[in-house]
Amino acid sequence: MGSQYSEILKAKLDEKSYGNLMAIDNADLHAYIANAIELCEPDSVWVSTDSDEDVAYTRQMSVKMGEEKALNIPGHTVHFDGPEDQGRDRKVTKYLVPQDETLSDALNQVEREEGLTEIKGLMKGSMKGRTMIVRFMTLGPNNSPFSIPCVECTDSFYVSHSLNLLYRLGYEEFKRLGEKARFFATLHSCGKIDERMVSTDVDNKRIYIDYTRDSVYSVNTQYAGNTVGLKKLALRLTIRKADREGWLAEHMFLMGVSGKGGRKTYLAGAFPSACGKTSTAMLPGETILGDDIAYFREENGSCMAANAEAGIFGIIQNANSKDDPAIWEVINNPGEVIFSNILVSEGKPYWLGMGTDIPEKGENFSGEWHKGKKDPKGAEIPCAHKNARYAVTLKALSNCDPELENPQGVELSGIIYGGRDTKAYVPVQQSFSWDHGIVAYGAALETETTFATIGKEGVPEINLMSIQDFISISLGKYLKNNLDFGKKLSKAPSIFGVNYFLCDNDGKFVNGVRDKHVWVKWMELRVHGDVDALESPTGMIPVYDDLKELFKQVLDKEYSKEDYIKQFTIRVPENLAKLERVEKFYRDNLVDPPQGLFEVIGRQRESLLGAQKEYGDYISPENLKAR
C-alpha cells in the first residue's frame, strides 16, 4: 500500500479498525477507502467485521444516534425518512457515461466527468463531525459462483444496520479472496440532517452510478433504495458484469412451490414494485428463496438460480394476518425488524391496510402527526406512507427455503412476468416458447407507475422485465442476452405472464387478492405437464375444470364458469392496442433491436387479427382448443 494511503488511514482509524482493514490484502480496497476519507472528511472511521460484537454494535448505534427508535416489541425499531425522500428517485439517479460511450436514451445519464465533479462537490466534507462506517458484504451466497464482494462506506448506522438484515456478511470473504476480490463499492452520506436525523438538502439529492469503476455515489438521502448500495444500485453494476460473463442478473423473486408427491418446483418472478411481487413470493404453504433480485447461470443445460440478497426490504402497506401470515408473524413477535415510514403511537407500529383501527395521533415521516394533518400544499397526510417498509432477514421467516445458502443455487423450472394491466392480459397464461415469453410477457411488460417511485402515480408505461430502471447496458443488448440465454439451455424454464389487475367495464378487479395462489399452482402443474391448456392468440390459458379443482383445493372456494369466462376472455382490441404501444416503445428506444423482437410482436398481432376475424372482438375461452 502506498505511503500516502497508509498515512490517511492511520490518521482516521483506531488501532483495531486499522488492523481489521489491513487483514484484507487488497491494495485497491485500501486506496478506495482512503480516497473516500479524503473526500468526505469524517472525524473517525470504524471498520466492521463479521463478528457478533460488530453486528450488535451497528444495531446499538443506530438507536443511540437517533436514526432509529426502539418499539415495544424487543428487537423492533423504526426509522423515518424525510417527506421528500420516500422512494427511489428516478430524476436524480443517473449513470456516469464516458464521453466516448452512449447508453439508450431511455436511461437517465450524465457525462462522467461532469457528473463526478458534481457529486464529489456535494460529498466534499459531508461527513465532518461524524463516523464513516466501513462494511463488507457479499451479493449471492459466499464462496460460490454467484458471489460478488461489496464494500460500502456510509455515515449512517441505519444503512449499516439494514445491510446486516438484507445481505450476507462479507468480511471473511474479502480476507479469503485478498487481491482477487474484484469488488463493487458504494460511498454514501446523509448530507445535512435535522434534529430527527433526517436528510434535509433534498434539492441536492444525487445517486450516481459509475459503471466504469463498479462504484456508486449517494448523497443527501437516507431512503434505503437510494442508500443501501447492494440493492438496486448494485443491480445496475451486476447487469454489466453478467453481460461480460454470459449470465443474467434479474429483478426477480425466487420461490419453491409444493406439488404432487412432495416435489418442490422453483419459480422466479419479475413484477414492478407494488404489483404483487412479495405477496406472490410469500404465498402460504410455499417457501421463499428471495423476493427481489436473482442471478441465473447455465449449468449442464439447466438454469441455476440464487438470491443475491439474504433479507427482505418489503412494502408493508396491506400486510395483514390473513393474507401475509409469515410476514405478520415476524413483524408481531420479538426479533430484529426495522420499520420505516409507518405511524408509531405509544411504541406500536401502524400502517395502511393492516386491518386494525388506526390511532388519531402519533409520529410518522412528517413528524408529529394527527388525523387531518395537511402538508404545505394542503393535501392531507396519511398516517403512514404508501411506500412504508419493513426490513427483516429471510432466515427469520418460518417459510424460508432451506436452499437459501446453497452455493450452487437451485434449478429453475418457471419464470413469471407480471405488471398492472387493467384492460388487456388475462390473469395467467403460458408462452408458446422461450422467445415468445421473453418478448410477449417480459419485453411487453406494461404497468402503471406506483408510489414506490417518486413522481406521478397511475401513468401507464412499458417496464421491460421490471428491470428497465436498472439496466446499465443498451436495452437491445439486455434483451438479446435474455434471448440468447435460452439457447444455452436444454431444460429451459417455462415462461408465464400474470396480471392480477384486470378489471371489468365497471373498473372492478376480476381477480380476488388470494387468487394468485391458484395461478401459481396451475403454473407448477404446467411445468410438469400434469394439466392441459387452451391455445389463445396471446398464449396458453387454463382449462376451466382444472381451475375449478384448484380453487377448491387451494382456497376452499367454488369457482364459477361465469368468473372463468370473465377472467379469460381474450380482449382483442385491448391486446392490439397494447402491441402498438409496445412496438412503438421499442422502435423509439432501441438502436440495436435483437433479431426476433419485432417478429414475435408481428406474429402475435397476426394471431389476434386472425382470431378477431373468426370470433369477433372478445373471444370466450369456450371457443378455444386444447393444445
The answer to whether residues 401 and 287 touch, using CB atoms and an 8 Å cutoff, is yes
pLDDT at residue 48 greater than cutoff 60:
yes
**H or E stretch at 329:** helix 325-331
Assign 546 a pLDDT band (cuts: 50, 70, 90): very high
Q: Name every residue whose Cβ is closer than 8 Å to that of residue 557 and which is 6 or more positions away in sequence.
A: 551
345 in Cβ contact with 329 (< 8 Å):
no
Please indicate, yes or no, whether the overall pTM of this predicted structure exceeds 0.85: yes
H-run or E-run covering 53: helix 52-64
pLDDT bucket at 481, cuts 50 / 70 / 90: very high
Q: What is the mean pLDDT of residues 46-69?
A: 97
Residue 299 has φ and ψ, to the nearest 5°, of -145, 110
The percentage of the chain sitting over the pLDDT mark of 70, rounded to a whole number, equals 98
| pLDDT higher than 90, residue 70 | yes
Determine how β-strand 337-340 pairs with β-strand 76-79: parallel
What is the CATH architecture assignment of 313-395?
Answer: Beta Complex (2.170)
Gap between the Cα atoms of 572 and 433, Å rounded: 21
Hey, what CATH topology would domain 249-309+404-626 get? Phosphoenolpyruvate Carboxykinase; domain 3 (3.90.228)
Q: Label the pairing between strands 494-499 and 410-419.
A: parallel
Three-state secondary-structure class, residue 449: coil
CA 426, CA 576: separation in Å to the nearest integer? 14
**Separation CA 173–CA 178 (nearest Å):** 8
Q: Average pLDDT in the 511-528 region?
A: 95
> Across the chain, what does the average pLDDT equal?
94
pLDDT of residue 103: 79
What residues are labeled active site? 275
**Distance from C-alpha of 461 to C-alpha of 453, rounded to nearest angstrom:** 13
Could you give the count of Cα atoms lying within 13 Å of 603 in the half-sphere of its Cβ?
Answer: 15
Neighbouring-strand partners of residue 417? 270, 497
pLDDT for residue 302: 98
pLDDT confidence of residue 563: 97
Q: Note the pLDDT of residue 627.
A: 73
Domains in the chain: boundaries = 3-65+91-245, 249-309+404-626, 313-395
Report the alpha-carbon distance of residue 37 to residue 132 in Å, rounded: 8
Alpha carbons 461 and 468: distance in angstroms, whole number:
11
In the predicted structure, residue 106 carries a pLDDT above the cut 80: no
Q: How far apart are CA 310 and CA 294, in angstroms?
A: 11
Q: What is the rounded distance in angstroms from the CA atom of residue 140 to the CA atom of residue 134?
A: 20
Q: CA–CA separation, 170 vs 605, rounded Å? A: 50
* pLDDT of residue 406 exceeding 90: yes
CA angle 467, 258, 516 (to 5 degrees): 50
Q: Could you read off the pLDDT of 111-144 as tens digits, one per residue?
A: 999 999 999 999 999 999 999 999 999 999 999 9
Question: How far apart are alpha carbons 21 and 185 in whole angstroms?
Answer: 15
Q: Provide the pLDDT confidence category of residue 322 given band limits of 50, 70 and 90.
A: confident
Beta bridge partners of 307: 294
* Per-residue model confidence as pLDDT tens digits over 547-598: 999 999 999 999 999 999 999 999 999 999 999 999 999 999 888 899 999 9
Domain 3-65+91-245 part of CATH 1.10.760.10: no
- The predicted-structure confidence for 327-367, as pLDDT tens digits, reads as follows 999 999 999 999 999 999 999 999 999 989 999 999 999 99
Residue 575 main-chain phi, psi, to 5 deg: -70, -35
